A and B are shown apart, each in its own frame.
Chain A
Amino acid sequence: MSDHAYVPEIATSRDGVEHEVQGWQGDFYGGKLGFWLFMLTEVLMFGAMFMVLTYYFTLHHADYIDASAGLNRVLGGFNTVVLLVSALTMGLGLLKMRSGDVKGAKLMIWATIFFAFLFLGVKAIEWSLEYQHGVFLGLDALQSGNAHSKPFGQILFFGMYFTMTGLHGFHIIIGIGLMLWLLKRINAGLVTPEHHILHWNIALYWDLVHLIWVFVFPYFYMIGADAGGYHIPDIGSLFGGHSNEH
């Protein structure tokens, strides 16, 4: 604990008078606000991708629903629950840290890492199954102009699906790295119940990853969940445009 004792930086003026430089180490709120600003850039990035997704969806309703109907909702749903539970373990870990139970906090972080790997494992199985069915980036089905091409709207759907779930998976991998780093810092006594901004921000990051999945999952997996004879409303018509409902 004493390893992390705050050591003020001293600046000496020309006349030899020492002044304590205002430190930022104890600025909990500043650290939190800065991380929120970073997360907003993430929201803007994924927001732009969702906008592209919506743009194509508006143009290719039926293709999107057909493509969505082909996704594995069992594995996608399982991963949704895995992320949900991992958000709980991460939150409880932070709570344990704040209440002074460092050992319990570390245990919860390890549990979160386990769920993160579980998510990636299930995602890998899911992608492998899709690859075996000939649906993967670079395969003929997702290239236009050949004998095995899927309808253009489906090519766009799967292009966005692999891009967005891939980027999300990349965030999961980064999250695992951050949690391992956090454990290292905790073990080194650099993150303590009194000084836990790093733990706080990594928990925020993990919640953001969960938050993105909350929208990724229904948008890709659920819009075609009942493709047999159900009709999806033309979302564009909500804004007064043409209806291309099928």
Chain B
Amino acid sequence: MSTNAKVDYQTEKGGYYKVLIGLLLLTTITFIQPSMFLTDATFVVQLLIGLIKALIILFYYMHLKGETLIGWTVSFAVFIVLFFFTIVIYDVQNFQFVDESHISSEATSAGSPTAGHHSSHSDTTSEHTSAASHEATHSEH
């Protein structure tokens, strides 16, 4: 395979430094984004930046560029992961077992007997994770 062929260090090293600069720039954007732009969508923006960084690393540092078979294998694995992500997120948004669950509002209130220790922001969380407030919040929108 071509990747096993001998290479010229001086010719090839420039690519590595370019990738480094690109990744450093994206990392800088990661840091300034929450206070600079698209502040209403921090989570999505942060993961999108992460995705771009991941693709750069995969294609250039991990030499996936031009690797058809391995590329498809990786794509398939990522597809499987995203497929289950989608199912789980859809499922949790339509959560049917709030009363029985240990990860939802009932457990939250039981696990936080010291509401006074938390900020009002956190208290709001407890309310928001209850099924009733889910509906109430939803209706507000």
How many residues on A have C-beta within 8 angstroms of the other chain's C-beta atoms? 87
A77 contacts which chain B residues (CB < 8 A)?
27, 31
- Could you tell me if A80 and B27 are in contact, using CB atoms closer than 8 angstroms? yes
- Could you tell me if B122 and A214 are in contact, using CB atoms closer than 8 angstroms? no
What 0/1 pattern do residues 1 to 20 of B give for CB contact below 8 A with A?
10111111100110011011
A98 contacts which chain B residues (CB < 8 A)?
5-7
- Could you tell me if A99 and B7 are in contact, using CB atoms closer than 8 angstroms? yes
Q: A151: which of B44, B81, B95, B126 is its contact (CB, 8 Å)?
A: B126
Instruction: Confirm or deny: B119 has a beta carbon within 8 angstroms of a beta carbon on chain A.
Output: yes
Main secondary structure of the interface of B (DSSP, over half): helix
A73 contacts which chain B residues (CB < 8 A)?
31
- Could you tell me if A60 and B125 are in contact, using CB atoms closer than 8 angstroms? yes
Instruction: Confirm or deny: A180 has a beta carbon within 8 angstroms of a beta carbon on chain B.
Output: no
- Could you tell me if B93 and A225 are in contact, using CB atoms closer than 8 angstroms? no
Q: A241: which of B13, B31, B47, B93 is its contact (CB, 8 Å)?
A: B93
A153-B125, A243-B137 known; A95-B13 Cβ under 8 A: yes
- Could you tell me if A223 and B43 are in contact, using CB atoms closer than 8 angstroms? yes
A214-B57, A230-B40 known; A51-B107 Cβ under 8 A: no
- Chain A nearest CB from B121 CB (Å) reads 6
What 0/1 pattern do residues 186 to 221 of A give for CB contact below 8 A with B?
000000010011001000100110110011011100
Instruction: Confirm or deny: A156 has a beta carbon within 8 angstroms of a beta carbon on chain B.
Output: yes
What 0/1 pattern do residues 67 to 92 of A give for CB contact below 8 A with B?
00000010001001100110110011
Size class of the contact patch on chain B: 35 or more
Main secondary structure of the interface of A (DSSP, over half): helix
Q: B34: which of A63, A211, A230, A244 is its contact (CB, 8 Å)?
A: A230
- Could you tell me if B124 and A246 are in contact, using CB atoms closer than 8 angstroms? yes
Identify which of residues 216-246 in chain A touch chain B, using a CB-to-CB cut-off of 8 Å: 217-219, 222-223, 225-227, 230-233, 235-246
- Given pairs A222-B34, A225-B42, 19 additional interface contacts (CB within 8 A): A28-B1, A43-B77, A51-B84, A55-B103, A62-B121, A81-B27, A91-B61, A144-B112, A152-B103, A207-B62, A215-B50, A222-B30, A230-B34, A230-B40, A233-B40, A233-B44, A242-B94, A246-B125, A246-B137
Interface residues of B (CB under 8 A from A): 1, 3-9, 12-13, 16-17, 19-20, 23-24, 27, 30-31, 33-35, 39-44, 46-47, 49-50, 53-54, 57-58, 61-62, 69-70, 73-74, 77-78, 80-81, 84-86, 88-90, 92-95, 103-104, 107-108, 110-114, 117-119, 121-122, 124-126, 128-129, 133-135, 137-138, 141
